[in-house]
């Protein structure tokens, strides 16, 4: 549970919310033989609570690398990354894993669903091996599937579902831990235009109805149209 900030506030001055993501002078370098590839260059970005931020740019612009660094799937070569008020550079791998578990949900381009599990079991998966009440977990997973319009597909396996239904299942799974932040990497890339629009509106609604902060990488202009802010990237830099 996030601690309540009890710092006195001057009368008449509304408290400024802390950013969910605060990135300062972040670089990511890869060494390929004698060559150094700059995947990210001096990136500065703040994402505030409830925002739906879209990272747009061509392939190789650094969108996915930046998402991976936000989510702790990769570490920056240089710079500071804070997520939910925690400086991730000061966290051990196990501490960062705990932060990911409690704070961050992930949505992947390829859905990453387990084919032999039902939709509701896939949604439960992040918490399936933890000491949660099984009936309460099943109720929560079922409710999330209903929120994304899949109450009638609870017991279907991914192979019996369309691409859009699989991605909506992945969205429900990303919410099972009540995250503060959801990171979506090219969430509409494998979907047709109409289905992609449905998925994007669903991400937007997460921000407005559940208060979740969403950062998505995309090539899709339809995603950008629904976002509250578009951040354009090229050659590892924010334009």
Whether 232 has a pLDDT exceeding 70, the answer reads yes
Instruction: Assess if residue 107 is contained within a domain.
Output: yes
Report CA 138 to chain centroid distance, whole Å: 23
DSSP code per residue over 132-175: --HHHHHHHHHHHHHHTT-GGGTT--GGGS-HHHHHHHHHHHHT
Rounded Cα distance between 177 and 125, Å, is 10
183 within some domain: yes
3-state secondary structure of 196: helix
Mean per-residue pLDDT over the chain, rounded: 88
Q: Is residue 179 part of a domain?
A: yes
Percentage of the chain lying above the pLDDT 70 cut: 94
Q: Hunting for tokens 């990488």 — which residue is that?
A: 217
- Band (7; pLDDT cuts 50, 70, 90): very low
Q: Is the pLDDT of residue 8 over 80?
A: no
Segment 222-237 shows an average pLDDT of 90
How many domains does one find in the chain?
Answer: 1
Residue 69 lies in a domain: yes
Partners of 80 in the β-ladder? 24
Per residue in 62-76, pLDDT tens?
A: 999 999 999 988 999
- Residues sharing a CB contact under 8 Å with residue 59, sequence separation 6 or more, in sequence order: 219
Cα separation of 54 and 217, whole Å? 6
Please give the residue range of the domain that contains residue 112.
49-75+89-238
| pTM reported for the whole predicted model | 0.87
156 confidence band (pLDDT: 50, 70, 90)? very high
Residue 103: which pLDDT band, with cuts at 50, 70 and 90?
very high
Query: How many Å apart are CA 189 and CA 178, to the nearest integer?
Result: 25
Residue 163 in any domain: the answer is yes
Answer whether residue 167 is part of any domain. yes
Q: What is the CATH number of the domain that holds 148?
A: 3.40.50.300
Confirm whether 82 is domain-assigned. Answer: no
Domain-embedded: residue 205: yes
* Residue 11: per-residue pLDDT: 53
């Amino acid at each position: 549970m996030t601690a309540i900030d009890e710092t006195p506030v001057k009368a008449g001055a509304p408290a400024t919310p802390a950013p969910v993501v605060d990135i300062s002078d972040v670089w990511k370098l890869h060494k390929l033989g004698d060559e150094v590839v700059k995947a990210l260059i001096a990136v500065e970005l703040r994402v505030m609570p409830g925002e739906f931020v879209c990272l747009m740019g061509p392939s190789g612009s650094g969108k996915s690398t930046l998402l991976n660094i936000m989510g702790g799937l990769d570490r920056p070569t240089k710079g500071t990354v804070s997520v939910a008020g925690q400086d991730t550079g000061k966290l051990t791998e196990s501490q960062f894993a705990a932060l990911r578990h409690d704070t961050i949900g992930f949505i992947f381009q390829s859905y990453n669903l387990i084919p032999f599990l039902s939709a509701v079991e896939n949604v439960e998966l992040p918490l399936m091996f933890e000491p949660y009440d099984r009936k309460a977990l099943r109720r929560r997973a079922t409710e999330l599937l209903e929120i994304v319009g899949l109450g009638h597909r609870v017991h279907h396996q991914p192979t019996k579902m369309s691409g859009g239904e699989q991605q909506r299942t992945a969205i429900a799974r990303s919410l099972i831990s009540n995250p503060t932040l959801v990171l979506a990497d090219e969430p509409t890339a494998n979907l047709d235009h109409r289905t992609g629009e449905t998925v994007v509106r669903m991400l937007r609604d997460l921000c407005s109805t559940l208060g979740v902060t969403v950062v998505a990488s995309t090539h899709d202009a339809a995603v950008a149209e629904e976002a509250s802010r578009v951040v354009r990237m090229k050659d590892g830099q924010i334009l």
